[in-house]
Chain A
Amino acid sequence: MKKVSNRHPNFAIFAFSLALSLLVSTSLIAQDDAAAAATTEAAAPAGDGSPCGPGDVAKGKQLFNQNCAACHALERRMTGPALAGVATRLSEDEGLDCDWLYSWIRNSAGMIASGDAYANRIYNEYNQAAMTAFPTLSDQDINDILAYVEAPPPAPVAAAATAGAEGGKADSGGISNELILGALTLVFALLVMMLFLVNRTLRRIAEANGVVLEKEKAEKGLPIWKAFAQNQFLVLVTVIFLMLSAAYFAYGWFMQVGVDQGYAPIQPIHYSHKIHAGDNGIDCKYCHSSARVSKHSGIPSLNVCMNCHKSIYEYKGNPEGPSAEDLAMGYTNEFYTGEIKKLYEAVGWDEETQSYANEPKPVEWVRIHNLPDFAYFNHSQHVTVGQIECQTCHGPVEEMEIMYQYSPLTMGWCVNCHRETNVQMEGNDYYEKIHEELAKKYGVEKVTAAQMGGLECGKCHY
């Protein structure tokens, strides 16, 4: 894994923009409006295809997502069987009517216990995973769900077409940009050439006319560098200035050695914190659970990923589809789905049989935050006791497509925070007596970590 060197982001941006402005003239802001075509979903009409009676497809979809989607998909075997056309299938293949379905959904365990043949068959086929009972669903609710699952699933053709169109659009956008750039460069080159030619012609004419150019006259005077070299004071000031600035920059350079702020290595699996913590609003400590109790925040073990990714086997993106920005980076739905497959590969999950059938291959993440060994840091002290938001040190993780080191993680940075941050003492019995005494001693209500001894060497170095 190559480390992305990002130590002088400002300089890099500056140099890049300089090069760009030299290369391209000003009028290149002709950016096309990236109006993402909202793929309007074909509004499904109230279906009447369900054999159990009419139902509301929209309501059925909502109910399905609430109650069933954790274990069932429409077209795909998951923890439970695929449900598309389930009522029809049951009545046609097994001769089971809607009443069977109603009672199965409301109390599957009871049916298995009663010795119902098909109930037991399906129970054994799916590794004896008991289905949750839904006694609260009314007949009409079930009809709604069945109407949704009976309705022909949203045409995959349309989705493919949209995806294709998107791809095409992205491609065409790229080509046109390049074309414009090329044309402009050509025009610019022509202009430069013309200018040069004109200049040469004029000069030749002037020579022919015997005109002496101003510039050549001036050469007879004292050259400016000689004048500078003769002024000793100026030389001294310049030398001092140069030395000071060299020292300043050298100091700055040395101080950043070992500081990896902005370090954003390429990871074996492209894990997007933006999607998980931002779009889906998953709490940090759901996955990094040991941050609450341990010194390590812990990289989640893969079984934690599989809690959700057993059911989330493909990335569907925002309802509006991927933004132009994402597309430019190649973050298409297929790309993300491919990353989920990498997870399955690592954890040894076989999608066909829905089981951990393969040899697991643990993921070798590249560690981003590296405190030196001689510094002791404890997450739980800060997260649980200090009630500090993860973002205080790790930055806007919920916006990070690629995780990077937000803070410098230097001792000065730690110490500053300890000086400024008040200790969370309210409601913690441990601090009760200490707070009382400290408040008396300093005559203040709030006490900073530093006043509690948080700047002592031995608190972090032992």
Chain B
Amino acid sequence: MASNKKYWKSEAELTPGNSIVEQLRQNEFPEEIPVDDFLGDKQELASSQTSRRDFLKYVGFSTAAASLAACEGPVHKSIPYVVQPERIVPGVANYYATSIADGFDFASILVKTREGRPIKIERNKEAGFKGDSNARIQASVLSLYDSTRLQGPRNAEGDVDWDVLDASVKARLAAMASGGKKVALLTQTYASPSTNRLVAQFSEKYGNVTHVTYDAISEDAALNAYQAKYGDRALADYDFSKADVIVSFGADILGDWQGGGFDGGYAKGRVPANGKMSRHIQFESNMTLSGANADKRVPLTPAQQKVALAQLFARLNGMSAGGELPEKAAAAVEQAAAAIRAAGRKAVVVSGLQDQDAQAVVLAINEMLGSEAFQPESPRYVRQGNTAALQQLIADMQAGNVGMLLMDGVDPLYTLPNAAEFAEALGKVDLSVAFATNRTDTAEACTFAAASSHFLESWGDAQFKKGHYSLMQPVIRQLFDTRQFQQCLLSWSGEEQSWYDFIRETWEGSILAGADWNQALHDGFFAASMDADPQEAAAAQTDKEQESEAEEPASVGSIAAAVRRLAGATQDGMSLVLYSKVGMGDGRQAGNPWLQEFPDPITRVSWDNYLTVSKKDAQELGLVNEYVANGGLDGSYANVTVNGVTVSNVPVIIQPGQAEGTFGLAFGYGRKTGLKADMQTGVNAFPLYQGFDTAQGVTIEKAAGMHEFACIQLQKTLMGRGDIIKETTLEIFNTKDAAEWNHVPQVSLNHNEVPATTVDLWEPFDRSVGHHFNMSIDLNSCTGCGACVIACHAENNVPVVGKKEIRLSRDMHWLRIDRYYSSEDTFEEDNIKKDGFSGAMESKRGFEEMEDPAANPQVAFQPVMCQHCNHAPCETVCPVAATAHSRQGHNHMAYNRCVGTRYCANNCPYKVRRFNWFLYNDNDEFDYHMNNDLGKMVLNPDVNVRSRGVMEKCSWCIQMTQKTILDAKREGRPVKDEEFQTACSNACSTGAIVFGDINDPESEVSKLKADDRMYHLLEHVGTQPNVFYQVKVRNTDEA
């Protein structure tokens, strides 16, 4: 029935007989269209040079010319060097050893360069310490080619010359020589002996100089505790490979705790050998990588962790401490104490609590145990920030005592909780200069923003830990008009010397002790022999002993007080625990698209940070996560308030394993300045980082709206499918037959149950001659860190697709790390529950229940790339034979042959094929560095850049195996086992991924293939993959 409603566009229409309305109703174009202006003058039209026929002629001619021109191939120019550098052969990669020391990440690395362009970062396997890499270090090469980098010094007006900057600084320094104001340096942690000497030299020249080191994410408590005990401002080092029992209180030892890089040693102890592996007990609030890998994880609030630590100390000393703990936690502390007592010197306790008492207690416990893993005598220098000195500096600035402020590698206006205070104080400084690679809030607010060189363009050195030095050398000339802070400081001190000469002088003077500089530069590191002077060392030892003896009573007393304080720790209301993600760290690489797209190993969310909430708290606060029709994940918003500071509209993720009453939020996001629009993701957590404590009292309230996440993995639990991730306990592993815990699936053949491996539909393919590659992935040593994911990006030119596309499940990662939670407390219970279902209804209901992970689930990580099946289902369905097997075990993919039917992706049981939806490399819609000339410099010239409309997937880095084989052929020798590598196996610090040739019986991978723990993914499908996994063994025995 027609409605009588009257619709109206404007109020005027309601007035009857309105002339304007009437006119508009009759006449669509109330204004005269000026037709006459261009067609009226008949004479001019007639006399016009271009007649209609001419016009058609021109059209015809230009069409013909264009098509003729298209017939000709393009002309390519080749421009050789005028003078070819001796070491550069076009087409051959050079490797240089250097170091990253950007204030957050410290490591010895190798840089692969092609024709002078750095294109990939590898681990420096020879460096005995910190030769590992993580996702951020792997990705840092892309930050070099960021088009948003500062390309020259600037001031408020715009670009300036370095001469102007130099002159201003020198003039100010000269003017200040007489005045009472001081020069302040506010820098990142360098851990650099040469920089220390340089700053000392600078201070000597200008007298009134203070140098404040500032870490955005502070380790102040641990530094203070170490300093109080050992006198040096440093962090104790730990070698977890020597520990049989690891007890951690909130320390994310596989993340960025105390500078990171512990995963290599940790993983060594995690592989069961001779029936033994280490036992890891983790007390924590957020679900971290360490908690996910732990054998026993106890979710506790930060205050409870302190109590637990106090109680552990008390139990180990046969005392008792106060404090309330939940029953389960108290039992866990008891178990931990028992395990530690049993292990004795083989145990170690660590803490990530930002509390000096906690850190002091941990040091005391380890010393008491005489822990072998605990190495206070060779401390780490990778964190040196001093928050007290920083607050003093801000006060000085406020008081107008600072005449000049020089900053390098820090962005206090973004990272300081009291940024507003700093901004105000900065206004009272006469001249401020901030060195930065990108535009930052701080650099914008300073008198000058000095464009600083990327670390791959810089000279430098670092002492990662006592006696272990590294060198940093440039691997490419400065791309832009940039300078290093140290070089500038040197020239402002009136020195003519270059920074390189200065470093060399430092090293030859006080570090190398006669060793060769060139050798050290070649290696990238130098390990000073610690027993160089045994007498001195012995003397120091006795000194220390005497000292400690002397201090013993006092220290025991202070420890007892510390324990008492810890035991009394309480937190009213809820706690917020701030953390750093393995993909983003403190946010200095927020402009790096690889890292933005890197899915967080725990939540599998990319392009965001979020508030992690336990399920119970979420229900109470009315916070939800829900899936929408296109498979995307949506989450509620919440407002987070700490001490009156509110960060609003923080998206919420319900995190299994999150301790009840706690919330997690990652640093490093929410930066706006100097980032492309797409990279401005997440919210800034630094304003909540008050007093530089990661644990804060908090109030949370629900905010309106839903946030759209880009989450890679929606399937959270394994639901008892034991043939995807097989796992067992150490006890079963040690006592039972492999067939029981590593069950080969059975299939029915002629009505008999036979092992799936014995049935084969296909003609076997002879791979006995030459190389036959296999890859082993050890689920025990894989920590899920994701360095391999980024290494794969860099090696194989994998495009970044952006948040929107990720949400549409169009992610391009050739290698993904699946994370599964158990739906019961353990995976074992899942299996039991699943097997117990009877009847369709019950199993339906049961499986629905199993989709939800437990409150404190077990976690397993599983890297999955193309499994390179010997009987690949993708090959049989390709209509154009674009994918084919090889006798070396690879499953090949010829992109130029692919027509994009995507049948192969449908038929792949492992879902590892990725379809290239857009021309990501030349598309302004995808502004992720690959679309501009600068960003393209990172591309690996040996690997195709795939075009739109083709299927792509892991190639097992065939370019690397082919190169290895060719090198051997050229040199006329057999290939050595360790030479065969892929990008992921090369990047893996823990040795979880091993690649090699199984036709070589001596190779590591052949031995791993014969291991009892070996199994294939979805063995019953009969695809015979060339990738195999090692059963995960958990050391859950209660000792």
Check B89–A301 contact: CB distance below 8 A: no
Check B84–A304 contact: CB distance below 8 A: yes
Check A290–B768 contact: CB distance below 8 A: no
Q: Chain A 348-383, CB within 8 Å of chain B: the 1/0 string?
A: 100000000000101111110010111110101100
Check B974–A433 contact: CB distance below 8 A: yes
Check A385–B84 contact: CB distance below 8 A: no
Query: In chain B, what residue has the closest Cβ to A265?
Result: B75
CB A423 to nearest CB in B, in angstroms, measures 10
Check A461–B896 contact: CB distance below 8 A: yes
CB B814 to nearest CB in A, in angstroms, measures 12
Q: Which one of A187-195, A292-300, A395-403 is at the B interface? A: A292-300
Given A380-B970, A428-B972, A461-B896: A302 in contact with B81 (beta carbons within 8 A): yes
Chain A residue numbers with a CB within 8 Å of B73 are 3, 258, 260, 370
Q: Is B80 an interface residue (CB 8 A)?
A: yes
Q: Which one of B601-609, B821-829, B856-864, B885-893 is at the A interface? A: B885-893
Given A381-B966, A452-B770, A462-B955: A295 in contact with B80 (beta carbons within 8 A): no
**Complex alpha-carbon distance, A366 and B943, angstroms:** 24
Chain B residue numbers with a CB within 8 Å of A98 are none
Q: Is B6 an interface residue (CB 8 A)?
A: no
Check B82–A3 contact: CB distance below 8 A: no
Check A365–B78 contact: CB distance below 8 A: yes
Given A430-B969, A430-B972: A294 in contact with B81 (beta carbons within 8 A): no
Q: Is B944 an interface residue (CB 8 A)?
A: yes
**Complex alpha-carbon distance, A300 and B962, angstroms:** 26
Q: Which of B884, B888, B892 has the most CB of A within 10 A?
A: B892
Q: Is B769 an interface residue (CB 8 A)?
A: yes
**Complex alpha-carbon distance, A411 and B893, angstroms:** 16
Chain B residue numbers with a CB within 8 Å of A303 are 81-84
Q: Is A52 an interface residue (CB 8 A)?
A: no
Check A300–B80 contact: CB distance below 8 A: yes
Chain A residue numbers with a CB within 8 Å of B974 are 429-430, 432-433
Check B75–A363 contact: CB distance below 8 A: no
Query: In chain B, what residue has the closest Cβ to A268?
Result: B77
Chain B residue numbers with a CB within 8 Å of A372 are 896
Contact of B892 among A347, A427, A457 (CB under 8 A): A457
Given A381-B969, A461-B892: A290 in contact with B92 (beta carbons within 8 A): yes
**Complex alpha-carbon distance, A265 and B75, angstroms:** 9
Check B79–A364 contact: CB distance below 8 A: yes
Check A293–B89 contact: CB distance below 8 A: yes
Given A290-B89, A370-B73: A362 in contact with B79 (beta carbons within 8 A): yes
Check A293–B970 contact: CB distance below 8 A: yes
**Beta-carbon contacts under 8 Å, A138-191 to B:** none
Chain A residue numbers with a CB within 8 Å of B942 are 295, 376
Chain A residue numbers with a CB within 8 Å of B895 are 374, 461
Check A298–B972 contact: CB distance below 8 A: no
Given A301-B84, A457-B884, A462-B943: A3 in contact with B75 (beta carbons within 8 A): yes
Check B769–A296 contact: CB distance below 8 A: no
CB B553 to nearest CB in A, in angstroms, measures 69
Q: Is B538 an interface residue (CB 8 A)?
A: no
**Beta-carbon contacts under 8 Å, A83-136 to B:** none
Check A301–B91 contact: CB distance below 8 A: no
Q: Which one of A60-68, A274-282, A413-421, A434-442 is at the B interface? A: A434-442
Check A298–B80 contact: CB distance below 8 A: yes
Q: Is A8 an interface residue (CB 8 A)?
A: no
Contact of B80 among A302, A378, A385, A434 (CB under 8 A): A302
**Beta-carbon contacts under 8 Å, B89-138 to A:** 89-92
Count of A-B contacts with CB under 8 A? 153
Q: Is B12 an interface residue (CB 8 A)?
A: no
The secondary structure that dominates the A interface is loop
**Beta-carbon contacts under 8 Å, A291-341 to B:** 293-296, 298-304
Q: Is A394 an interface residue (CB 8 A)?
A: no
**Complex alpha-carbon distance, A204 and B887, angstroms:** 87
Q: Is B9 an interface residue (CB 8 A)?
A: no
Q: Is B445 an interface residue (CB 8 A)?
A: no
**Complex alpha-carbon distance, A378 and B884, angstroms:** 22
Q: Chain B 53-93, CB within 8 Å of chain A: the 1/0 string?
A: 00000000000000000011101111111111000011110
Q: Chain A 437-460, CB within 8 Å of chain B: the 1/0 string?
A: 110010000000000110011110
Query: In chain A, what residue has the closest Cβ to B973?
Result: A429
Check A301–B80 contact: CB distance below 8 A: yes
**Beta-carbon contacts under 8 Å, B931-946 to A:** 942-945
Chain B residue numbers with a CB within 8 Å of A300 are 80
CB B877 to nearest CB in A, in angstroms, measures 16
Check B75–A430 contact: CB distance below 8 A: no
Query: In chain A, what residue has the closest Cβ to B82?
Result: A360
**Beta-carbon contacts under 8 Å, B866-896 to A:** 882, 884, 886-888, 890, 892-896
Check B92–A294 contact: CB distance below 8 A: yes
Query: In chain A, what residue has the closest Cβ to B115?
Result: A296
The secondary structure that dominates the B interface is loop
Q: Is A25 an interface residue (CB 8 A)?
A: no
Q: Is B897 an interface residue (CB 8 A)?
A: yes
Q: Is B732 an interface residue (CB 8 A)?
A: no
**Complex alpha-carbon distance, A293 and B971, angstroms:** 10
Q: Is B958 an interface residue (CB 8 A)?
A: yes
Query: In chain A, what residue has the closest Cβ to B885?
Result: A456
Query: In chain A, what residue has the closest Cβ to B945?
Result: A373
Query: In chain B, what residue has the closest Cβ to A383?
Result: B970
Contact of A294 among B76, B91, B768, B887 (CB under 8 A): B91
Chain B residue numbers with a CB within 8 Å of A302 are 80-83
Chain B residue numbers with a CB within 8 Å of A360 are 82-83
Given A366-B75, A370-B73, A437-B768: A428 in contact with B80 (beta carbons within 8 A): no
Q: Is B570 an interface residue (CB 8 A)?
A: no
Given A364-B77, A457-B884, A459-B962: A430 in contact with B975 (beta carbons within 8 A): yes
Check A462–B944 contact: CB distance below 8 A: yes
Check B92–A378 contact: CB distance below 8 A: no
Chain B residue numbers with a CB within 8 Å of A385 are 966, 969-970
Check A298–B90 contact: CB distance below 8 A: yes
Q: Is B968 an interface residue (CB 8 A)?
A: yes
**Beta-carbon contacts under 8 Å, B948-968 to A:** 955, 958-959, 962, 965-966, 968
Chain B residue numbers with a CB within 8 Å of A293 are 89, 92, 970
Query: In chain B, what residue has the closest Cβ to A2?
Result: B75
Query: In chain A, what residue has the closest Cβ to B81?
Result: A301
Check B80–A453 contact: CB distance below 8 A: no
Check A347–B92 contact: CB distance below 8 A: no
Given A1-B75, A301-B82: A456 in contact with B972 (beta carbons within 8 A): no
**Complex alpha-carbon distance, A303 and B893, angstroms:** 41
Q: Is A384 an interface residue (CB 8 A)?
A: yes
Check B894–A457 contact: CB distance below 8 A: yes
Chain B residue numbers with a CB within 8 Å of A381 are 966, 969
Given A294-B91, A303-B83, A380-B966: A374 in contact with B770 (beta carbons within 8 A): no
Query: In chain A, what residue has the closest Cβ to B90?
Result: A296
CB B278 to nearest CB in A, in angstroms, measures 40
Given contacts A294-B89, A365-B78, 18 further A-B contacts (CB under 8 A): A5-B72, A294-B92, A302-B83, A346-B82, A348-B82, A362-B79, A362-B80, A365-B77, A374-B895, A376-B942, A376-B959, A380-B966, A434-B770, A453-B888, A456-B884, A456-B886, A458-B890, A462-B892
Q: Please, could you name 16 A-B residue pairs with CB atoms under 8 Å apart, sorted by A?
A: A290-B90, A290-B91, A294-B91, A295-B942, A370-B73, A380-B970, A384-B970, A429-B974, A430-B975, A432-B974, A434-B770, A441-B766, A453-B886, A456-B887, A459-B886, A462-B892
Top 10 nearest A-B pairs (CB, nearest first) are A458-B892, A294-B91, A301-B84, A301-B81, A367-B76, A296-B91, A457-B894, A374-B896, A299-B80, A295-B91
| Chain B residues within CB distance 8 Å of chain A | 71-73, 75-84, 89-92, 766, 768-770, 882, 884, 886-888, 890, 892-897, 942-945, 955, 958-959, 962, 965-966, 968-975
| Chain A residues within CB distance 8 Å of chain B | 1, 3, 5, 257-258, 260, 265, 290, 293-296, 298-304, 346-348, 360, 362-367, 370, 372-376, 378, 380-381, 384-385, 427-434, 437-438, 441, 452-453, 456-459, 461-462
